[in-house]
Chain A
Amino acid sequence: MAVDVYTWEPNANSGKPLLCLHEKQVPFTHHYIDMGTREHHESAFLAINPAGTVPAVVHDGLVLTESTPMLEYIDDAFAGPPLRPADPLLRWRMRWIMRVMDNSVCPALAMIASNALAAPRFRETPEAEKQAALAKIPDPERRRTWELLMHDATPPEEIEESRRRVAAGLALLERMLGEFPYLAGPAFSLADICTMATFYHLPVSRPEEVSAGLTPNLWAWLVRCHARPGLQAGFAMGRGFIAERARQAREAVLA
């Protein structure tokens, strides 16, 4: 029962299967796909996922390419600690939170982060080189996103709206974590994995918004999650600044 994970770092969507497989205690092989060099748009990876998106998980020949459905699959297909609530209402809550993260919060964060970090790197890139890179992106919407990024052309009001959505997402998490210790109830679940993959760094990246004093429920949840050996092992798979940032965040909350 071989499990092969083709992905980049333990960060956002790319990180979800790494964190989840560690929490589920399922052995797997990590094939590192370097998003920095846009390896996910190269033919070797496109042979596994023609859509050119990471992560992709291959389990005994079955190819999984949607990161949230693959989390449900991992919990469904393997023995190990249950990662979904048994109560149908809590399971709905788990899926609802993952949808908010996937559709609203994560795209907003990705827009902010890529404009801040990736856009400046393209300033010196010759136009022909940009066009060649864009031509390799199979999905037209993603191509459009990269085009805006490479030309530093994302409208400022869009970035402002993304900031609003991230703030609204943090307020929502703080409120929901006042109801239960974990996002989908009394027990750790896929909703926590999905959200930690994106927000593990809050203690170091947004100390002015997230702290033990300002967001006590969210902070207590970060403490609980960062203390988990499964998530720690998943974040330790990072090769560079992601693993380092996760380590700093963990030290900040567990201090």
Chain B
Amino acid sequence: MTRLVLHHAPGCALSQAVRIALAEKGLTHDVRTVDLASRDAGLLALNPAGLVPVLEADGAVLTEAFFILCYLEDAFPQSPFGGGDPAVRYRVQYVGKLVETAIAPNLAMLEWAERGGAFPADAERLPPERRAWWRKAGTGFSGQELGAARVGLERAFADCESWLAAHAWLAGEDFTIADMLLAPLAARVPGLGAATSRWLARARRRPAVELALSEPPLVTLGPERGRWG
């Protein structure tokens, strides 16, 4: 049996997504809590970008929440949540990309601008692009940047809303890792569309989802937004 260790921060949406997957799949694992404000060198040794979640699988270090979910599907195909045919699996990948490149960075940036949060003690030890992203957050994002983030977030959720008006779940008629990934982020967004709100309520009826979402949300600077087009 593979030894799984999850490094997570309570209230971090992408960490919650991985916890949902581990619970839904019934996988035994250890949990290590990372304090993103006063973190020690341990996290940077595992993930130089200083981001959670990180999953260790028999010592191999995996980052990027959606790819961790894909790994769990590939490595533990019993109780599958990866989609039943190629078209559904494409849709899972499509949503994964939408969430990690449009929804997560934009939402984190807007939340940070609105409420601030813990500035990491080790910011100067991060790789250049992460360091620059934190510096930018420290001096404040421009109105143009925040406007683009707002539009990007609205467009991504409009995409989900039009799909969910015709489907029970984000990849089709079954609950998949795409739903696990988006639910913790969507739960933090005010003013969701009608179909998206119904979908979220449906997801929260699953005990693993509701348990993960019961903790207070953590505001932190997420992954960097895309830079060019």
Interface SS of chain A: helix
Q: A77-B86, A89-B60 are in contact. Are A165 and B71 (CB under 8 A)?
A: no
For A139-172 the 0/1 string (1 means CB < 8 A from B) is 1111011100000000000100110110000000
List of A residues within 8 angstroms of B57 by Cβ: 89
Contact between B226 and A68 (Cβ–Cβ < 8 Å)? no
Number of B positions contacting A (CB below 8 A): 33
Partner of B62, one of A68, A92, A140, A146: A92
Q: Is the CB of B226 within 8 A of A141?
A: yes
Nearest Cβ on chain B to A118's Cβ, whole angstroms: 12
The yes or no answer to A76 lying at the interface (CB within 8 A) is yes
Chain B residues closer than 8 Å to A145, beta-carbon distance: 228-229
The reply to whether B71 and A88 contact each other, CB–CB distance below 8 Å, is yes
What B residues does A88 contact at CB under 8 A?
Answer: 71, 74-75
Q: Which residue from A76, A104, A141 sits with its C-beta under 8 Å from B129?
A: A104
Q: How large is the interface on A (under 10, 10 to 19, 20 to 34, 35 or more residues)?
A: 35 or more
The verdict on B101 contacting chain A, using a C-beta distance below 8 Å, is: yes
| A107 contacts B228, C-beta separation under 8 Å | yes
Of B19-27, B33-41, B90-98, the segment with at least 4 beta carbons within 8 Å of chain A is: B90-98
- Roughly how many angstroms separate A107 CA and B229 CA in the complex, as a whole number? 7
Tell me the smallest distance from the CB of B139 to a CB of chain A, in Å: 14
A20 close to B (CB within 8 Å): no
In the bound complex, do residue A99 and residue B67 qualify as a contact, i.e. CB atoms below 8 Å apart? yes
Q: How far is the CB of B181 from chain A (nearest CB, A)?
A: 14
A103 at interface, CB cutoff 8 A: yes
Report if A95-B60 is in contact (Cβ < 8 Å); known contacts: A62-B87, A77-B86, A140-B151: no
Chain B positions within 8 Å of A, measured between CB atoms, are 57, 60, 62-64, 67-68, 70-71, 74-75, 86-87, 89-90, 93-94, 96-97, 100-101, 128-129, 132, 148, 151-152, 155, 224, 226-229
The 4 A-B residue pairs whose C-beta atoms are closest, nearest first, are A69-B93, A88-B74, A77-B86, A88-B75
